[in-house]
Amino acid sequence: MRFRIEVHDGFARLGSIDGLKTPHIIDLRNREEIRFFRDAVERKPPGIAEKLFPGSVDFLKKEGFVKKIIFKGTQSGEFVRAISERDDFKRPLYIPLIASPQNLSLLIYAGADLLDNAYALLKAHEGVFLTEIGEFELDRLKEVPCHCLACTGREDYGNEYDYLADHNTYALKRELLLAVKMLKSDRLRELVEQRVKPNPELTAVLRILDSKTANSSLFPRFRKSKLLPTSDDSPGRAEIQYYFTRLPEVYDPASSVCLLIPCSAKKPYMVSRTHRILRSRLGNAIKGVNEIIISSPFVSPRELELIYPISSYDTPTTGIWSEWEIEFVSSKLAPLIESFEKIYAYLHGGYRKVAERAGEIAGADIEFIDDVTRLRKKLESEEKTGFDLYREIFSHMVRYQFGVDFEIEKIKGRYPSLEFFKRDRVARVDMKYGNLDIYGELAIYLKDRKVFWVEIEDFEVRGTIFSVGVKSADPVIRPNDVTVYYSSDTIGVGRALMPGKLMGVVDGKAVESRRKIIFAE
């Protein structure tokens, strides 16, 4: 058997087993499917066997092409530990017996490549009608809320079990199609949050899973999809956790004066009408002032507003802030304002409450000003250190993305489509992914310092670099990261399609080449 992975997104992935697309639901009524997987799945005896037959337990084990993890009832912590700590990603993962329309997206998010309809068939025996939002006893439904083939042809069934077995399996497969579509669109997490919300046990699994993902290189830092943090579990997303981990590490304000302002609906903030008007009215007074934008669930220095997820998110704006939101956002703001000598705030409502609470945490005095004219005069009266905002944006982005410092000489382009030059162009802002795309001298700089590197075999690169052609790679690389690939006679820039630690290990696409670097004679 051959397992090839086409798309990596955290633990979740799209692939194929000998041409059979995964994730896949095994229909346990189908003898051909059972026969296909029966000999491939590993077998592990239950824990009680270790005690009863300590000398014979090895005889009952079978490694198998397919790895299997069994979720036992409410042992969510144990299940997540088995998922998150596994280091064998070459084999497809089978999670048997528990898939339902409601938990299927979570199981795929957790890494399931193979599932089955055992639970769907069991519930059919019990007369239970499954949906993606919960379970219903069939005899209490006056009208079924479904138009699948089983439900529209219900009168053709000779008994209730056969009807429910088909409906429950159809519901599973319909949810699978939706989960795959969302995974391809970079939006699986949104579906997961919707599905787990009504179920405390599933919510617990997601939260424990989130606690294991902040530093995992399996999860992308940058995405082409808009981030929609609309639930209390959204801050647990890996890219949000990563952002808040890196924020205090990379933020290095050039001035001692800070201005706190509210976010805008349009991203990036500086092209929004509200921010353009405010900056226009402040005029030259804004020069030499470090701006920090407050939102929910984010805080962002102006220098990082082009980085994902700040560059591309949308959140409900009701003007009503919960106590949880105020505490969460203020705890992220407080470390950023500790170093400033003077802090002004142009904020109202919940935004002001966030700043007030952050000031208490940081032990910082914040002067709140409601009138723009008065604010301008206050800023004009301050002794400020002048700085080039666009240069600061580049230095913060390159530190956030690559963990290095790099000097540039000039900047071209219209915000936010900025291009950065040394002798030649070295980087540009890629608004599609919310990061820097790199060129020439910066790429060579990263390669020489062994940062975000992929060493490949000697072959002609044309489009896609497959994992089999990778000799080794920087293990910190995540999917969608900009990488520098090289061989004995080639240097190029690409986008990672899988984590660096899996390159050369699993079967699939490793890097999408963007350009080769041509050296000037």
Distance CA 251, CA 264 (A): 21
Q: What percent of the chain has pLDDT over 90?
A: 81
**Mean pLDDT within 64-78:** 76
- Which tokens belong to 449? 């310092």
Is the distance from CB of 176 to CB of 104 less than 8 angstroms? yes
pLDDT recorded at residue 49: 47
Distance CA 19, CA 22 (A): 9
Using only the alpha carbons of the chain, give its radius of gyration.
27
**Mean pLDDT within 202-226:** 91
pTM: 0.92
pLDDT recorded at residue 62: 57
In the structure, what pLDDT confidence band is assigned to residue 177 with cuts at 50, 70 and 90?
very high
Q: Distance from CA of residue 347 to its chain's centroid?
A: 30
Distance CA 391, CA 397 (A): 10
pLDDT recorded at residue 318: 74
Please give the CATH number for the structural domain made up of 234-389: 3.40.50.10630
- Which tokens belong to 265? 């609906």
| Most trustworthy range by pLDDT among 130-144, 204-218, 219-233, 424-438 | 424-438
User: pLDDT tens, 474-492?
Assistant: 999 999 999 999 999 999 9
Say whether pLDDT at 215 is over 50. yes
- Which tokens belong to 330? 């203020």
| Span(s) in the chain for CATH 3.20.20.105 | 3-210
In the structure, what pLDDT confidence band is assigned to residue 76 with cuts at 50, 70 and 90?
confident
User: pLDDT tens, 396-431?
Assistant: 999 999 999 999 999 999 999 999 999 999 999 999
Mean pLDDT lowest for which of 58-72, 256-270, 348-362, 449-463? 58-72
Mean pLDDT lowest for which of 244-248, 314-318, 319-323, 373-377? 314-318
Q: Helix, strand or coil for residue 218?
A: coil
User: Which one has a higher pLDDT value, 232 or 6?
Assistant: 6
Distance CA 123, CA 15 (A): 29
DSSP 366: E
In the structure, what pLDDT confidence band is assigned to residue 57 with cuts at 50, 70 and 90?
very low
What backbone torsions phi and psi does residue 490 show, to the nearest 5 degrees?
A: -140, 140
pLDDT recorded at residue 507: 95
CATH superfamily of 3-210: Queuine tRNA-ribosyltransferase-like (3.20.20.105)
User: pLDDT tens, 158-167?
Assistant: 999 999 999 9
Distance CA 497, CA 92 (A): 18
Residue matched to tokens 């790199």: 438
Distance CA 449, CA 444 (A): 9
pLDDT recorded at residue 74: 52
Distance CA 235, CA 299 (A): 12
What backbone torsions phi and psi does residue 229 show, to the nearest 5 degrees?
A: -80, 85
What does the buried/exposed string (b/e) look like for 106-138 if buried means 16 or more CB atoms within 10 Å of the residue's CB?
A: bbbbbbbbbbbbebbbebbeeebbbbbeeeeeb
Residue matched to tokens 């910190």: 476
pLDDT recorded at residue 521: 41
User: Which one has a higher pLDDT value, 60 or 497?
Assistant: 497
pLDDT recorded at residue 36: 84
- For strands 3-9 and 410-412, give the pairing: unpaired
Q: What is the mean pLDDT of the chain?
A: 92
| Span(s) in the chain for CATH 3.40.50.10630 | 234-389
- For strands 24-26 and 67-68, give the pairing: unpaired
User: Which one has a higher pLDDT value, 272 or 60?
Assistant: 272
pLDDT recorded at residue 60: 47
Helix-then-strand count for the chain, H and E: 17, 24
Can you say whether residue 34 is alpha, beta or left, with left for phi > 0 and alpha for psi between -120 and 50 degrees? alpha
**Mean pLDDT within 98-106:** 96
User: pLDDT tens, 85-94?
Assistant: 888 899 999 9
Mean pLDDT lowest for which of 41-45, 270-274, 295-299? 41-45
Query: Measured in Å, how far apart are the chain's first and last C-alpha atoms?
Result: 49
| Span(s) in the chain for CATH 2.30.130.10 | 439-521
pLDDT recorded at residue 137: 94
413: Cβ contacts below 8 Å, ≥ 6 apart: 419, 428, 429
315: Cβ contacts below 8 Å, ≥ 6 apart: 228, 229, 230, 295, 296, 297
Classify domain 439-521 by CATH architecture.
Roll (2.30)
DSSP 437: E
In the structure, what pLDDT confidence band is assigned to residue 73 with cuts at 50, 70 and 90?
low
Residue 511, strand partner residues: 465, 496
